[in-house]
Amino acid sequence: MANPLKDTLLGQLETAWALTRYHLEGLTTEECLRRPAQVGLHVNRGADGHWRADWPEHEGYSLGPASIAWLTWHLGFWWSMVQNHSFGDASLQQQQVSWPGTAEEVRAWLTRLHAGWRTSVDQLGDEDLRSTGRTRWPLKDRPFADIVAWVNLELMKNAAEIGYARFVLAVSERSG
């Protein structure tokens, strides 16, 4: 049976994912770790070898531009959180999500998150999308379709941010 709502949401997901893949293709670890300015959100390797991301106290422009490493961590962070809180045990917390460490591992991580999310959403029916039963993070008391739409928006936004950062880095390398 056709499900226009789910079909629309999954179509949007695939469009956003195509743009994300485009900007991740050819991405290097060096690009990820290069800071576009002296200030800005970034990842740091701890003594235990795990890469931890800065957590902003506010979202003002004074933070400066984020590194691609931080942008890809943020994408993986919220996608891991929403997947765990919607289809898992809802136990995952921000401190438990670390940056993978290389561009290749980032691509693999995000590809796994996309595949898992797509499979989970594809199994839902219309009633599931209208229900609030799975809506635990980042929103509550909203139809689950709102969460799926939020994921699509967040993915497109993060893809655009990564793409913009890659364009800036590519030009600064040539003129540098």
Give the model confidence (pLDDT) of 59-114 as tens digits. 999 999 999 999 999 999 999 999 999 999 999 999 999 999 999 999 999 999 99
pLDDT digits (tens, 9 = 90+) for 15-30: 999 999 999 999 999 9
Q: What is the pTM of this model?
A: 0.95
Q: How many domains does the chain have?
A: 1
pLDDT at 172: 83
Q: Name the pLDDT band for 176 (thresholds 50, 70, 90).
A: low
Domain harbouring 135, CATH code: 1.20.120.450
Q: Where are the beta strands (DSSP E) in the chain?
A: 43-45, 51-53
Distance CA 73, CA 45 (A): 13
Range of the domain at 98: 4-54+63-175
**Cβ atoms within 10 Å, residue 107:** 18
pLDDT beyond 60 at 54: yes
Q: Name the pLDDT band for 2 (thresholds 50, 70, 90).
A: confident
**By percentage, how much of the chain surpasses pLDDT 90?**
94
